[in-house]
Amino acid sequence: MNQARRTTLRIAAAVILDSEGRLLLVRKRGTERFMQAGGKLEPGEPAEAALRRELHEELGQAPSALRLLGEFTAPAANEPGCQVHAWLFLAKLPSHSLLAAAEIAELRWVTPDEARELPLAALTREHVLPLAVRLSPSQEHTDEMERLGGS
């Protein structure tokens, strides 16, 4: 394989905000960077299906609703020489009953300002934090989550 060619990992990841506007970050076992819950798409698997599967595995809950926020690319946090092509979804989950499972070592609810003090994956720093600031805390976020729950 040509080392100059960068491998792209296709992932789906969740932007999960609580009612106070805090963002859920996770840290995988054996790593130091915090990121969104989610993971790699299986061959032929749609991004939404992959995210539902990953959230159930990693947090013990499937989302009650998802809304695509967009597609983003960034350097991979834990795989040198790779980049991620991520489908980011706003996800509605019960924040009080999430558990670190599978490869997740730690869950943290943080404000965007608190997040900036942590070692973050590039995707989180470059794309997720600006989205989190835009989505919360606001009545628009509350209204959006209510619409998600009603669908």
| Spatial separation of the C-alpha atoms in residues 19 and 6, rounded to whole Å | 39
Residue 49: its pLDDT value, please? 97
Cβ 92 vs Cβ 15: under 8 Å: no
Helix (H, G, I), strand (E, B) or coil at 93: coil
Q: Distance of CA 92 to CAs 2, 43, 116, 132, 144, Å?
A: 41, 26, 23, 14, 10
What value does the mean pLDDT take over residues 60-75? 95
Residue 149 pLDDT greater than 70, yes or no: no
Q: How far is CA 83 from CA 8, 94, 138, in A?
A: 5, 31, 32
The answer to whether 16 touches 95, Cβ cutoff 8 Å, is yes
- Placement of tokens 């942590």 in the chain: 118
pLDDT band with cut points at 50, 70 and 90 for residue 138 = low
Specify the pLDDT at position 146.
56
The whole-angstrom separation of Cα 88 and Cα 12 is: 6
7-150 is classed CATH 2.60.40.60? no
5 pLDDT higher than 90 = no
CA distance 34 to 113: 14
* Per-residue pLDDT tens digits for 103-123: 999 999 999 999 999 999 999
